[in-house]
């Protein structure tokens, strides 16, 4: 089996951008829970219909449904040679469920993009302005960061020495180079 990588980092930390670049370099699927939920709901699958019942009223999809979606996705042939998870697990119960379903070796490397909060706020405010997202103001961004830290700190402790902290500031190319060097070691 190839590399099994999890990308962690704050909202606006560049996970999606970097995950796509690493995916191309390693030739493994980029497994994004957001993309999977949208795909499952669009397909009308049983899991998709169950997820839509939560999403349509603005609730988070329960962990057991997200775990089932991830398990189903990772069972596909293209993930046999490794995968890159983005956005899952996002909390300790999801990490424990993933380990229960796929075993403790479900992940071998956790890349944590470490970005200063002021930088994150500036990035997200700029993105909100560009995309016209009125819901992303400084107050909501700070709340999202608070929630992120509350959920992620236990994950970092849970994964221990598999976590590789990468400086997530600078150009997209510089950050990618740091990640590639870490993954090569």
Those residues with Cβ within 8 angstroms of residue 34's Cβ, 6 or more apart along the chain or in another chain: 87
Q: State the sign of the Cα–Cα–Cα–Cα dihedral 119, 142, 61, 48.
A: negative
Point out which residues pair with 86 in neighbouring strands: 7, 32
3-state class of 28 per DSSP?
A: coil
- HSE-up (13 A, CA, CB side) for residue 33: 23
Positions marked catalytic: 15, 90, 127, 133, 144
3-state class of 25 per DSSP?
A: helix
Rounded to 10 degrees, the C-alpha dihedral 171/29/150/140 comes to 60
Point out which residues pair with 30 in neighbouring strands: 84
């Amino acid at each position: 089996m190839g590399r099994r990588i999890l990308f962690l980092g704050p909202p606006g930390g560049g996970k999606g951008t970097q995950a796509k670049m690493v995916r191309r370099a390693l030739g493994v699927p980029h497994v994004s829970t957001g993309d999977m939920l949208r795909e499952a709901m669009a397909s009308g699958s049983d899991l998709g219909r169950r997820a839509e019942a939560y999403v349509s009223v603005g609730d988070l999809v329960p962990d057991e449904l997200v775990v089932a979606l991830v398990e189903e996705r990772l069972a596909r042939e293209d993930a046999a040679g490794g995968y890159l998870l983005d956005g899952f697990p996002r909390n300790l119960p999801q990490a424990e469920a993933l380990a229960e379903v796929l075993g403790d070796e479900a992940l071998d490397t956790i890349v944590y993009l470490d970005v200063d909060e002021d930088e994150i706020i500036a990035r997200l405010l700029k993105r909100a302005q560009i995309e016209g997202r009125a819901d992303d103001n400084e107050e909501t961004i700070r709340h999202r960061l608070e929630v992120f830290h509350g959920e992620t700190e236990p994950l970092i402790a849970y994964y221990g020495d598999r976590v590789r902290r990468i400086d997530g500031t600078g150009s997209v190319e510089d950050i990618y180079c740091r990640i590639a060097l870490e993954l090569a070691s």
